[in-house]
Amino acid sequence: MNTKPLEPWQLEQLRSIGTCVVASTIEFFGVRLQNTGFTKSNIRCMFPERPSIAGYAATARIRSADPPIEGRNYYRRTDWWNHILTIPEPRVVVIEDVDDPPGLGAFVGEVNAHILMALGSTALITNGAVRDLRQVQATGFQMFAGNVSASHAYAHVFDFGGEVELGGTKITPGSLLHGDLHGVVTVPLEIASKIPAAAHEIIKRRQHLIGLCRSPEFSIEQLRRAIDETAIKA
């Protein structure tokens, strides 16, 4: 079983595919249940006009409703930066806000986005809040979040480098993630290198069905036959 990080050109191939097609391709390989491995609708893409992202998860957990046990400055906890650097590039920072409800204060805004970019990260995924949307949008950094907040409140990292859960999905450090305007999916490393080729086959089959639907010679019987043939090939 191959669980090594992808080569840069393989990651680029993966980024060229939409997240919906990646999700369908993972279903094609049958490596997990079809109702798992993707974030729910409470995690939404902040910059939907951006292309897909793909990278490896660096994880942390935060709180924002109450002050940290020690230290007043919310940038004070910097040792988690070392954890980020242990993850292969490109990195995607995944932060679970454990407050109930999450998202009172935003941990990542303009300054932290620049810090994470300097540490080789291309995106953030959190069930909590983000802020400074216009400033972060101008950087090219992507964010997926549960909500936005004007304040960081008492947002602070209290734990990092372990399994996190957000949007109904469990994510471990080093997990390969793919995301776009539709949300985020985890990509099993054992099939990751096979996804681009299989995805293009799925796209071709979809286009065949769409072309048939748009044809002036369309008929339900033709559509049924085409769907049966597609199912057999899959």
At 26-60, the pLDDT tens digits run 999 999 999 999 999 999 999 999 999 999 999 99
Beta carbons within 8 Å of 215's beta carbon, 6+ residues apart: none
For residues 150 and 214, membership in a common domain is answered with: no
For residues 208 and 129, membership in a common domain is answered with: no
For residues 66 and 99, membership in a common domain is answered with: yes
Task: Kindly state whether residue 98 falls inside one of the protein's structural domains.
Answer: yes
Task: Kindly state whether residue 2 falls inside one of the protein's structural domains.
Answer: no
For residues 141 and 223, membership in a common domain is answered with: no
For residues 228 and 159, membership in a common domain is answered with: no
Q: In residues, how long is the chain?
A: 234
DSSP secondary structure letter of residue 90: S
Task: Kindly state whether residue 1 falls inside one of the protein's structural domains.
Answer: no
Which residue bears the tokens 């999905």?
Answer: 169
What percentage of the chain exceeds 90 in pLDDT? 85
β-pair type (142-145, 121-126): parallel
- The answer to whether residue 229 scores a pLDDT higher than 90 is no
Q: How many CB atoms lie within 10 A of CB 35?
A: 7
Q: Which domain holds residue 128?
A: 8-189
For residues 138 and 168, membership in a common domain is answered with: yes
For residues 97 and 204, membership in a common domain is answered with: no
Question: What's this model's pTM, rounded to 2 decimal places?
Answer: 0.92
Top-confidence residue, 67 or 56? 56
Alpha carbon distance 41, 35 (integer Å): 13
Task: Kindly state whether residue 162 falls inside one of the protein's structural domains.
Answer: yes
Which residue among 174, 189, 204 closes a domain? Answer: 189
Q: What pLDDT is attached to residue 234?
A: 43
Which residue bears the tokens 């949008």?
Answer: 137
Cβ atoms of residues 155 and 68 within 8 Å: no
DSSP secondary structure letter of residue 183: E
Task: Kindly state whether residue 120 falls inside one of the protein's structural domains.
Answer: yes
Beta carbons within 8 Å of 211's beta carbon, 6+ residues apart: none
Cα R_g (the chain), whole angstroms = 20
For residues 139 and 206, membership in a common domain is answered with: no
Give the H/E segment covering residue 22. helix 19-29
Question: Cα angle vertex 3, ends 14, 90, to 5°?
Answer: 45
Alpha carbon distance 168, 148 (integer Å): 19
The number of folded domains in the chain is 2
Task: Kindly state whether residue 158 falls inside one of the protein's structural domains.
Answer: yes
For residues 118 and 208, membership in a common domain is answered with: no
For residues 216 and 166, membership in a common domain is answered with: no
Task: Kindly state whether residue 66 falls inside one of the protein's structural domains.
Answer: yes
What percentage of the chain exceeds 70 in pLDDT? 93
Q: Which of 166, 170, 149, 148 is nearest to 97 (CA)?
A: 166
- The answer to whether residue 1 scores a pLDDT higher than 90 is no
Distance of CA 4 to the CA centre of its chain: 19
Top-confidence residue, 225 or 148? 148
Q: How many CB atoms lie within 10 A of CB 140?
A: 12
For residues 19 and 59, membership in a common domain is answered with: yes
Q: Is 207 exposed, middle or buried (0-12, 13-18, 19+ CB in 10 A)?
A: exposed
CATH code where residue 138 lies? 3.50.30.40
- The answer to whether residue 71 scores a pLDDT higher than 90 is no
